[in-house]
Chain A
Amino acid sequence: DAKTTQPPSMDCAEGRAANLPCNHSTISGNEYVYWYRQIHSQGPQYIIHGLKNNETNEMASLIITEDRKSSTLILPHATLRDTAVYYCIVKTGANNLFFGTGTRLTVIP
């Protein structure tokens, strides 16, 4: 599975959109992009995933560039409860989710 690169930390003002970038330049054609987050002392929580097209659900939007070498997770109106570590993962249908070190997002009041 391809590796991902994320900034170690980001801040976002409460109520603003949080845009979390991820680079995955070695992604192959059949690899999906997944996003999970982990709030302190809890298990990871699935957010969204996509292959080529942009995706949106009740939690977030996922924007994947046309060449698929990078993506952005957008939390449209960040709240204090969105403070967490966000993980970008690329994988095929195989079992393993490789969680790197992620981006620590801090939402500031």
Chain B
Amino acid sequence: DVKVTQSSRYLVKRTGEKVFLECVQDMDHENMFWYRQDPGLGLRLIYFSYDVKMKEKGDIPEGYSVSREKKERFSLILESASTNQTSMYLCASSLGYRGLNEQYFGPGTRLTVT
């Protein structure tokens, strides 16, 4: 089975802190994604990556950056956390060209910024 793991299930940070969210997948997938999920808004794509050292902006990249130094690991960085970044963050991975195939999701990280 594909396994996507995220570094924390729950995280509490202060406004202005730099926050790192880590995601690791164990199935050699080319594609990795970061979403945030908020009530009434569904999932929104922040950034994605089709290959090592490659990244592309999603729908809401402002205030975030990403890093993909190894194929299995995709990190989401909040440079200076703000209260409007309080959310559930979901990482996903998929096989194949440009994400046509099904995406496998991690359990999510619920981030609270105070």
Interface residues of A (CB under 8 A from B): 32, 34, 41-46, 49, 87, 92-102
Contacts and interface: CB of A to CB of B under 8 A. Distances in A.
20 contacts: A32-B100, A34-B102, A42-B107, A43-B4, A43-B90, A44-B92, A45-B105, A93-B97, A93-B99, A95-B48, A95-B56, A95-B58, A96-B45, A96-B59, A97-B103, A98-B43, A99-B42, A100-B42, A101-B40, A101-B42
In the complex, which of the residues A43, A92, A93, A101 has the most CB atoms of chain B within 10 Å of its own CB atom?
A43
B98 A93 contact: yes
B43 A99 contact: yes
Contacts of A100: 42
A44 B97 CA distance: 21
Given A93-B100, A97-B43, A101-B42, 14 more contacts: A32-B100, A41-B108, A42-B108, A43-B105, A43-B106, A46-B102, A46-B103, A49-B102, A94-B98, A94-B99, A95-B31, A95-B50, A95-B56, A95-B98
B33 interface: yes
Contacts of A94: 98-99
B56 to A, nearest CB: 7
Nearest to B50: A95
Interface size class of B (residues with CB under 8 A): 20 to 34
Contact of B105 (A34, A44, A92, A98): A44
A42 B37 CA distance: 12
Contacts of B64: none
Nearest to A98: B42
A29 B25 CA distance: 33
